Structure 1
Amino acid sequence: MNLKPNMIDQIRSVSLQSENEGGLARDALNLILERNWFKLFVPKALGGEMAALPDALKIFEYASWVDGSFGWLTTIGAGGGYFAAFMQPDTAKSVFSPPQAVIAGSGAPTGTAVRTEGGYIVNGKWSFCSGSEHATTFTANCIIESNNSDNPEIRAFAFSPEQVEIVHDWRAFGLKATDSHSMIVNNQFVADERTFSLTEQLAFLDEPLFSYPFLPFAQATFCAICIGISRHFLDEAKSLAERRQQAWQSTRAGRYEFIMGLIRQADNQLSSASRTFYETIDQSWNSHMDQQPFTPEEITEISKVCQRTSRTALACVQNLFPYMGISAIMEDEPINQIWRDLQTACQHSLLVPFEGE
Structure 2
Amino acid sequence: MIDEAACRAADLEGWLAPAQQALIHREGWLRMLAPRACGGAELPLPDVVRLEQAIAARDGSMGWVVTLCAGALWFAGFLAPERARAIMATPDVCVAGSGAPTGYADKEGDGFRITGRWDYASGAPMATHFTLNAVLRERGQVLLDEAGRPRIRAFIVPARHVTVEPTWRSIGLRASASHSYRIDDAWVPADHGFAIAPEAATAPGPLYRFPFMPLAFVTLGANLLGMAQHFLALARPLLTARRHPATGLAVVELPAVAARLANATAAMDTAQCEFYAALDAAWAAAVAGAEVDSVALQRVALAMVETCRQAVDTIYPYCGLQAAHGDSDINRVWRDFHTATQHAMLVPAG
TM range (shorter): over 0.9
The answer for the alignment partner of 2:50 in structure 1 is: 58
1:252 aligns with 2:244: no
In the TM superposition, what whole-angstrom CA distance separates every residue of 1:29-54 from its partner, at most 9, and x where no partner exists?
A: 11111111111101222222111111
1:103 aligns with 2:95: yes
In structure 1, what residue type is equivalent to 2:88? F
The answer for the alignment partner of 1:129 in structure 2 is: 121
Q: Distance in 2 between matches of 1:172 and 1:231?
A: 22
CA contact (8 A) 2:38 2:81 kept: no
Matches within 5 A, 1:229-248: 229-242=227-240, 244-245=241-242, 247-248=243-244
1:343 aligns with 2:338: yes
CA contact (8 A) 1:304 1:353 kept: no
In the TM superposition, what whole-angstrom CA distance separates every residue of 1:108-156 from its partner, at most 9, and x where no partner exists?
A: 1111011111211111000000000001111101000235453322111
Out of 39-48 and 165-174, give the one that drifted further: 39-48
Q: Distance in 1 between matches of 2:258 and 2:88?
A: 47
In structure 1, what residue type is equivalent to 2:189? A
Q: Distance in 1 between matches of 2:332 and 2:163?
A: 29
Q: State the secondary structure of the residue aligned to 2:172.
A: coil
Matches within 5 A, 1:203-282: 203-205=202-204, 207-242=205-240, 244-245=241-242, 247-248=243-244, 252-253=248-249, 255-258=251-254, 259-282=257-280
CA RMSD of aligned residues (A): 1.7
CA contact (8 A) 1:266 1:316 kept: yes
Q: Distance in 2 between matches of 1:54 and 1:106?
A: 24
User: CA 1:193–1:266 in structure 2 vs 1: closer, same or farther (change >3 Å)?
Assistant: same
Q: State the secondary structure of the residue aligned to 2:102.
A: strand
Alignment equivalent of 2:314, drawn from 316, 319, 334: 319
User: CA 1:202–1:68 in structure 2 vs 1: closer, same or farther (change >3 Å)?
Assistant: closer
Alignment equivalent of 1:331, drawn from 326, 333, 336: 326
User: CA 1:147–1:73 in structure 2 vs 1: closer, same or farther (change >3 Å)?
Assistant: closer
Q: Distance in 2 between matches of 1:70 and 1:202?
A: 28
1:303 aligns with 2:298: yes
CA contact (8 A) 2:119 2:180 kept: yes
Give the deviation of 1:254 after TM superposition. 5.1
Give the deviation of 1:21 after TM superposition. 1.0
User: CA 1:330–1:147 in structure 2 vs 1: closer, same or farther (change >3 Å)?
Assistant: closer
Matches within 5 A, 1:80-159: 80-145=72-137, 146=141, 148-149=143-144, 150-159=148-157
CA contact (8 A) 2:10 2:16 kept: yes
TM normalised by structure 1 equals 0.91
1:286 aligns with 2:284: yes
In the TM superposition, what whole-angstrom CA distance separates every residue of 1:149-178 from its partner, at most 9, and x where no partner exists?
A: 533221112111110000000011110000
CA contact (8 A) 1:40 1:78 kept: yes
Give the deviation of 1:312 after TM superposition. 0.6
TM normalised by structure 2 equals 0.93
Q: Distance in 2 between matches of 1:147 and 1:217?
A: 30
Give the deviation of 1:239 after TM superposition. 2.5
In structure 2, what residue type is equivalent to 1:176? R
In structure 1, what residue type is equivalent to 2:39? G
User: CA 1:311–1:59 in structure 2 vs 1: closer, same or farther (change >3 Å)?
Assistant: same
Q: % of aligned pairs identical?
A: 32
CA contact (8 A) 1:306 1:351 kept: no
In structure 2, what residue type is equivalent to 1:328? A
In structure 2, what residue type is equivalent to 1:223? G
CA contact (8 A) 2:157 2:188 kept: yes
In structure 1, what residue type is equivalent to 2:112? Y
In structure 2, what residue type is equivalent to 1:321? Y
CA contact (8 A) 1:216 1:303 kept: yes
Matches within 5 A, 1:158-169: 158-169=156-167
CA contact (8 A) 2:128 2:158 kept: yes
Q: State the secondary structure of the residue aligned to 2:327.
A: coil
Give the deviation of 1:179 after TM superposition. 1.0
Q: Give the aligned length.
A: 341
CA contact (8 A) 2:239 2:251 kept: no
1:71 aligns with 2:63: yes
CA contact (8 A) 2:6 2:19 kept: no
1:25 aligns with 2:20: no
User: CA 1:210–1:126 in structure 2 vs 1: closer, same or farther (change >3 Å)?
Assistant: same
CA contact (8 A) 2:239 2:318 kept: no
Q: Distance in 2 between matches of 1:202 and 1:114?
A: 24
The answer for the alignment partner of 1:3 in structure 2 is: none
Q: State the secondary structure of the residue aligned to 1:177.
A: helix
Q: State the secondary structure of the residue aligned to 2:224.
A: helix
